[in-house]
Structure 1
Amino acid sequence: MPTVLIIDDNAAVGVALDVLFSLHDIAALHAASPEEGLALLASEQIDLVIQDMNFSADTTSGEEGVALFRQIRARYPDLPVILLTAWTHLDAAVDLVKAGAADYLPKPWNDERLLATVTNLVELGQANRALAQRVGRERRERRELENQYDLRGLVWADPALERVLQLACQVARADVPVLITGPNGTGKERIAEIIQANSQVKDGPFVVLNCGALPSELIEAELFGADAGAYTGASKAREGKFEAADGGTLFLDEIGNLPLAGQMKLLRVLETGRFERLGSNRERQVKVRVVSATNADLAAMIRAGTFREDLLYRLNVIELRLPALAARPGDILPLATSFLAP
């Protein structure tokens, strides 16, 4: 039940407002002087203050009320205050509303208007406090996450991304493949870097291959290497990405673009850790953590026969789904600030 503090030297005003508010499930406390009101504010949980503007006998200047309002405003800047007086000075009312007063009502007051104002202000105050508590909690959780893990300088603020980061950091130390899915531009490679930075192979190499940026006939050579003469232009042997990533992490971006022949060889490496270079019969052994990413619908590709179901099973031991930026509005301002910084 919300609580309203009434600061008025007239006991009848306190009784009348107490009766009015009690009929609408609002508790009321009454203070007869500014000092008593400030003491109650310090000791009680107050949602709104209704204060008189004059407390001394034969005083109509409103100076006492202005002084009290400024003290309340200084100590409790978010607490709504309604000013109530029989001596209405328009200039004073305008000045105090500009200074933050919620409303300025004359005596005798209109019950319906006063009640509507109090109800709206109390609901708004409760909503603002709930929001402030949520924002504070999210900030604490964000600080804890940033202190506990290496997030590679990621710029973020939205809780939707925090959930992905929590999971990414938790699974980083597990030696299992991870599939990162989400639209283009959501930061899939950065999440892969975070997984590497918090894994047991964080000191090993982090090798990236964009499967969508290479001709299909060259992807196998890029992945597994090639011996001299394996294809036109291969004048000398070269190691592939798996050899380069030995003891570390291999990030396969746009995994949905990998041709079926390459998918079969990749499946074998995931199962055994062994592979042959293109044009070679010698088997090689590596220890590589594979993190892959795609914006494609791999399930639809499986139905179309363009992606192996058994490979998806191997890659998708843990899936991290990155939400689009439109679903992370809290990240927009921090990202814009970061991009526009000199």
Structure 2
Amino acid sequence: METSEGQTILIVDRDHDFLEWATKHLAADDLRILRCDQADKAIKVVEKTPIDVVISDMSIQPFDGLELLSRIKQVAPNTLVILTVGFPSTGQVIEATQHGAHDVMRKEALPFELRPVVESALQLAGERRDADQSNPEVQQQDSRVKIIGVSRALQDVFKVVGRVARSDAPVLVFGESGTGKELVAHAIHEYSPRRQQEFLAINCGAIPENLLESELFGHEKGAFTGAIAKRAGRFEQADGGTLFLDEIGDMPLSVQVKLLRVLQDGTFSRVGSNETQKADARIVAATNKNLADEVAAGNFREDLYYRLNVVEVRLPPLRDRPEDIPLLAEFFLQRITRKNGMARIKLSGEAVTALQAHHWPGNVRELENTIARACALASSNILLPTDIPLATAPGASLKSLAAAMDSLLDAMPAGRGHAWLNEKFAARVLERNDGDLKQAASALGVTTAEFRKNLR
């Protein structure tokens, strides 16, 4: 491990075997490693000794890792803190990030990830050694958002949420359909200073172009047919709060121009009015499209793209985080059975394996629907692989047919392709009809003689 000269690490954990392992795992020249088994002891060490990096278990005693993190930041703001936890929750990762944690790591992943993370932290600590930077005070958050997952990819998303939530910067969330983009928008709002105000969502692709402008900015009475009264738009309704613009890539160009004005100076006009309105709404937008490609194709304004994409969040598809599938499936099982007053249903180990092997083109939404179908059709309180109706991806049958045709074409002898294909097809139809010539001919709508001809 490469370290700056004279750097010090403090490892805090109740498990003495872990302390011993971590000490040997991280050992390096010019690196001093201290360790203790209680949080109050750790604070005394930090108060007396310059520490570059602290690695602490989240469930340390007599107070937890978040409290230890806060106290360390008060007495040694430049010390980097890495928290470890068995199964980190969404709230733990976001709150730890907001309180200034350098990283939050699953204990299960430490043998593979601890060393490179500590190396990176030591490098940063070396660069900060002479800097005087304090961590801003962050108000304790009580709200929770149900984003389920312990995968590294999802934890990285939580960390971005924890950092960006405190600002008013526009956020652009990228992700396939069904990955939970609106949940991320909710998390940004719930962990922000705006959490006491409105969170409003609008699907830009689900509203006709002639109505979308009115939905966003409102309209005056008589502005168009059916406008029988003045109406405030979503920007006015979300004043002081957060406005989530889903499927922003489907927003018409005519409305994009007006949205750009709001992002630039916070002003807009209702449809049918020349009066300028002001609104202070934090914008979080989401799309499953590649907006850079849409810009190149002329379908999306380049200036609006850069205005929206101040902070970028990319949600991983479910197939890239299979370790989250058992947790999500269990969460949906409990929610569905509780909602419907059903007896407790469990997943067998084989069922979990089948779920993890599935490609999940519909992502988390598809998994939720699959679990709901399995619960509705369950004949016992244990779900086996045969009880879980995994959907075939759209177009999969056509792809299979194309693959079969390619295989036939590769095997087709030169010079008699048409006759050979007819023969193969007729033989397969005859097989499907248990060798009954008359029934096979009837299935194809030809006479028995014509069918025999194809067989020959």
TM-score calculated relative to the size of structure 1: 0.58
Offset of residue 156 of structure 1? 1.6
Give the structure 2 partner of residue 318 of structure 1: 311
Q: Deviations over 1:36-84 (max 9, x none)?
A: xxxxx9xx99xxxxxxxxxxxxxxxxxxxxxxxxxxxxxxxxxxxxxxx
Q: 1:168 to 1:299 in 2, by over 3 A?
A: same
Contact 1:274 1:285 in 2 (8 A): yes
Secondary structure of the residue aligned to 1:326 is helix
Pair 1:210-2:157 in alignment: no
Offset of residue 153 of structure 1? 2.6
CA distance in structure 2 between the partners assigned to 1:145 and 1:151 by the alignment: 12
Offset of residue 138 of structure 1? 5.1
- What does 1:295-334 correspond to in 2, within 5 Å? 295-334=288-327
Instruction: Tell me the number of residue pairs that the alignment of Structure 1 and Structure 2 aligns.
Output: 210
Offset of residue 158 of structure 1? 1.4
CA distance in structure 2 between the partners assigned to 1:329 and 1:291 by the alignment: 27
CA distance in structure 2 between the partners assigned to 1:278 and 1:215 by the alignment: 15
Offset of residue 340 of structure 1? 1.4
Pair 1:259-2:207 in alignment: no
Give the structure 1 partner of residue 330 of structure 2: 337
CA distance in structure 2 between the partners assigned to 1:278 and 1:249 by the alignment: 22
Q: 1:337 to 1:141 in 2, by over 3 A?
A: closer
Structure 1 segments unaligned to the other structure (5+ residues): 1-40, 46-135
Q: Deviations over 1:228-284 (max 9, x none)?
A: 111111111111000000000000000011111100000000000000001110000
Give the structure 1 partner of residue 157 of structure 2: 164
**What amino acid sits opposite 2:237 in the alignment?**
A
Give the structure 1 partner of residue 187 of structure 2: 194
CA distance in structure 2 between the partners assigned to 1:144 and 1:215 by the alignment: 41
Give the structure 2 partner of residue 231 of structure 1: 224
**What amino acid sits opposite 2:323 in the alignment?**
G
Contact 2:153 2:316 in 1 (8 A): yes
Q: Higher relative contact order at CA 8 Å, sep ≥6: structure 1 or structure 2? A: 1
Picking from 121, 145, 148, the partner of 2:93 is 145
TM-score calculated relative to the size of structure 2: 0.44
Secondary structure of the residue aligned to 1:232 is coil
Give the structure 2 partner of residue 287 of structure 1: 280
Offset of residue 190 of structure 1? 0.4
Offset of residue 141 of structure 1? 5.1
Give the structure 2 partner of residue 185 of structure 1: 178
Offset of residue 154 of structure 1? 2.3
CA distance in structure 2 between the partners assigned to 1:139 and 1:282 by the alignment: 56
Q: Deviations over 1:126-173 (max 9, x none)?
A: xxxxxxxxxx94526547426646441322221210100111111111
CA distance in structure 1 between the partners assigned to 2:94 and 2:189 by the alignment: 16
CA distance in structure 1 between the partners assigned to 2:187 and 2:289 by the alignment: 22
Percent identical = 48
Secondary structure of the residue aligned to 2:86 is helix
Q: 1:243 to 1:176 in 2, by over 3 A?
A: same
Q: Is the radius of gyration larger for structure 1 or structure 2?
A: 1
Q: Deviations over 1:266-310 (max 9, x none)?
A: 000000000000111000011110000000111111111110000
**What amino acid sits opposite 2:194 in the alignment?**
V
Contact 2:246 2:287 in 1 (8 A): yes
CA distance in structure 2 between the partners assigned to 1:224 and 1:154 by the alignment: 31
Contact 1:138 1:159 in 2 (8 A): no
Contact 2:153 2:321 in 1 (8 A): yes
CA distance in structure 2 between the partners assigned to 1:190 and 1:303 by the alignment: 29
CA distance in structure 1 between the partners assigned to 2:208 and 2:332 by the alignment: 32
**What amino acid sits opposite 2:333 in the alignment?**
L
Secondary structure of the residue aligned to 1:221 is helix
RMSD: 2.1
CA distance in structure 1 between the partners assigned to 2:226 and 2:219 by the alignment: 11
Contact 1:224 1:275 in 2 (8 A): yes
Pair 1:275-2:268 in alignment: yes
Contact 2:95 2:162 in 1 (8 A): no
Q: 1:147 to 1:282 in 2, by over 3 A?
A: closer
Contact 2:223 2:271 in 1 (8 A): yes
